[in-house]
Structure 1
Amino acid sequence: MARITRRGLTLGLLAGGTLAACGNGIGGDGAAIIDSRVDQTVNYMFGAYPGTQDLMARSAGMLVMPVVTEVGLGLGGTYGRGALRVRGATVDYYSQSSLSGGLQLGAQQYSHVLFFMTAESLLNFRQSDGWAVGGDIEYAYLDQGETLRAETTTSRLPVIAVIFAQTGLRVGATIEGTKYTRIIP
């Protein structure tokens, strides 16, 4: 007979609540919801961080993840949905997920955009069956009023990640170890 402990119940409720919060109406108007969230996120990013407009202009495409939820209580995980845009048009939809373990406690939400700075990096992303973030990525963490660092805007790396709009009670946000998978909303 299985024994339910407080810790097991807490973890189960936390995981269930996280997954329920991530739903966006699969089988319904999921694509329209994702596109609306992506539009709002891009508009916010351009208004708050004007330097990102230059990144978009120089990039081959960008993956916009409007809301990523990250939760950790011993075990942790992240989940979010977004859209890949090429020349301003949505070409695919993706989910983002990761799992982690260790000393962690808290929850947060944030937005992030991956700018594919070369046609090759965009092609590799689109042709992969589940793309995982590797070491060839530059991070730009943005806070209110901060501008992009010069080394970010002149980087020769194939992918630049911009993380912004963090809220919650967890220190730091990272997309390392994150897997992106094409979805049909």
Structure 2
Amino acid sequence: MTNLSRRSVLVLGGAGLGLAACGNGIGSSGAARIDARVDATRDYLIQKYPGTQDLMRKAVGVLYMPLITEAGFGIGGSYGQGALRINNVTVDYYSAASASFGFQIGAQQYAHALFFMTENALADFRRADGWEAGADARYALPDRGGAIGADTTTSLAPVIALVFGQAGLIAGATLAGTKYTRIIP
């Protein structure tokens, strides 16, 4: 068995980050492309999880991230682009990025949506130079029956995060440590 040097780990981790970037078409997606992906993501949520319509109606804003690509081998990262919509109209574009270190190998893609349930939560998000998903975001998990697991506790949260559409070789997807930054596509 060979020992991995620090340089090997950095090269492999950089390759994983590069793979994540390539899967999202960085540099090739403009506003129209992001909006088309967001429309498809919103329509998918409504069709697959009808309960999201209620969340959409109650939310003061929704950040749709249609495609997040994550890859890692010891060192990993994820990246994606999406749009913030208020009253179903795009008001800003955002990137989501994260980095991680630890026991990990593989790649996956997934989508997520952040439902801002209060004006204050939305204002804090829009005001921040870079907003990080943290303890104030509650997860609503889709079950096999097509419903969203938004119970009373979750529905009172300032931000509800819905992760869906996972495909790949890494188990699970989390938004912890993901930084959202406003972009100009």
TM exceeds 0.5? Answer: yes
Question: Contact 1:24/1:33 (CA < 8 Å) preserved in 2?
Answer: no
- 1:115 is aligned to 115
- 1:165 is aligned to 165
TM-score (normalised: structure 1): 0.89
Distance in structure 2 (CA, Å) of the matches to 1:65 and 1:174? 13
Deviation at 1:7, TM superposition (A): 5.0
Structure 1, 13-22 or 84-93: larger mean CA deviation: 13-22
Q: What amino acid is the match of 1:100?
A: S
Uncovered stretches (5+) of structure 2, i.e. residues with no partner: none
TM-score (normalised: structure 2): 0.89
Q: 1:40 to 1:105 in 2, by over 3 A?
A: same
Question: Contact 2:132/2:178 (CA < 8 Å) preserved in 1?
Answer: yes
Uncovered stretches (5+) of structure 1, i.e. residues with no partner: none
Query: Aligned runs of 1:2-13 on 2, under 5 Å?
Result: 9-13=11-15
CA-atom RMSD, angstroms? 2.1
Deviation at 1:5, TM superposition (A): 6.5
- 1:100 is aligned to 100
> What do the CA deviations read for 1:51-102 (whole angstroms, capped 9, x no partner)?
0000000000000000001112111111100000000100000000011111
Deviation at 1:161, TM superposition (A): 0.3
Q: 1:93 to 1:6 in 2, by over 3 A?
A: same
Q: 1:107 to 1:63 in 2, by over 3 A?
A: same
Aligned residues: 181
Question: Contact 2:70/2:76 (CA < 8 Å) preserved in 1?
Answer: yes
Q: What amino acid is the match of 1:38?
A: V
Deviation at 1:16, TM superposition (A): 2.3
Question: Contact 1:117/1:157 (CA < 8 Å) preserved in 2?
Answer: yes
Distance in structure 2 (CA, Å) of the matches to 1:145 and 1:43? 18
Q: 2:21 aligns with which of 16, 19, 22?
A: 19
Question: Contact 2:105/2:170 (CA < 8 Å) preserved in 1?
Answer: yes
Structure 1, 10-19 or 153-162: larger mean CA deviation: 10-19
> What do the CA deviations read for 1:120-143 (whole angstroms, capped 9, x no partner)?
100110011100111011102225
- 1:140 is aligned to 140
- 2:184 is aligned to 184
Deviation at 1:148, TM superposition (A): 1.4
Distance in structure 2 (CA, Å) of the matches to 1:23 and 1:92? 19
Q: Identity of counterpart residues, as a percentage?
A: 53
